[in-house]
Structure 1
Amino acid sequence: MALDFGLLGELKKSHPAWRLFMADNAPMVASFLDREFREHNVRAIAETELVLHLDDYLHALGRGEAVDPFPKDAAAYLADWTHESRGWLRKFYPEGSDVPHYDLTPEAEKALSWMEQLSGKRFLGTEGRLSICIDLLRQIVHGREENRELRLRELKNRKRAIEDEIARLRAGEFSGLSDRELRERFVRFSETARELLGDFRAVEQNFIDLDRSIREEIA
């Protein structure tokens, strides 16, 4: 999709992810939300627990400062982040509980993911990215291949490669992944798991929006 001037203007005014980037306290907000929700892939935190964590975090950040950089209390910040004018947290009551809980909104998840990319924390080497691209292209070709002989030839080549590897293992030859390759795969796994959690948040929000829309139509 082209980055249309008018569309970007609307996003700047209304999208929670953009608002998080522009917020005066963005470093505090983003670092806290990332630590509480994304670092350990947490989906829901009770209000009492989140208020306590945020209160400790604000005190730690303000320690040694002549003027308190974050004058509001933790509960007030959570209320602010949950308000539709921010849209970074979703407040809800789990089934069977009268204790309010919080989760990241999909928009906040997206903003934190962008910040992570900007910070340079993501690590996936060129070789790893190239391998992923080649594997995806191979899957595309195989998925569209209609020539029976070519498909059989490819399967036989894969079978031969597997048999060769089995023979080497039986002969005592084993070459595992290098430390770099292991690190790349672990990081890729962590990133994929985090992205999947973000997808779950987006799907859940879609159901919430649909339910709200249906209720409004019925009313």
Structure 2
Amino acid sequence: ARLSEQLRRFLDDKAWLENRRIMDILHNIETRALDLRVDLPSGGFMPLDGSSAAIELPLERTLYRPPFKPLIAGVALDEGDAEIDTAVLYAQVVVDRAELLRNIRLELQMRSQVTLGEVVERHPLRNGLAELVAYLQLAGEWPRTTVDEGVEEQVQWQSSTGITREATLPRIILLRNG
């Protein structure tokens, strides 16, 4: 009870001090206004922001458009009879980006610049297109990369079934830092 009484008294004192400060500020404003009434200052002495109204005409607004609801036919779907190997869905390829980055750095130790095609030629793709996409992503993140759109490179790899695949892309030149 004693603690709550002290807390109440503290808050009352604080509120009284805040009200007192507000009243002092208002009295100062009132005194200055009365002083200015006798001798008005020339020119603008109190700028106002946004002294004009923002006009927004009704015809400037867009008309209501109901949301698009596609028509979906209520046809019963039949179960397919195709034989699908579902193990393919779970066989995911993991590309080691750190190894690819090491390959790029290894090639740049010997020369000041190397093309992505040369890196792939010296370090053949083992994971196919996924590995090529990872190389392209690393090239995009590389600090000093130049793309020559006028020259195309052929990148080849063997798929898991033994088929030779080929991708054509612009020459991507990786430059050594420093």
Which category of TM-score, normalised to the shorter sequence, fits these structures?
under 0.3
**In proportion to residue count, which structure has more strand?**
2
Structure of greater Rg: 2
| TM-score for the superposition, normalised by structure 1 | 0.18
**In proportion to residue count, which structure has more helix?**
1
| TM-score for the superposition, normalised by structure 2 | 0.21
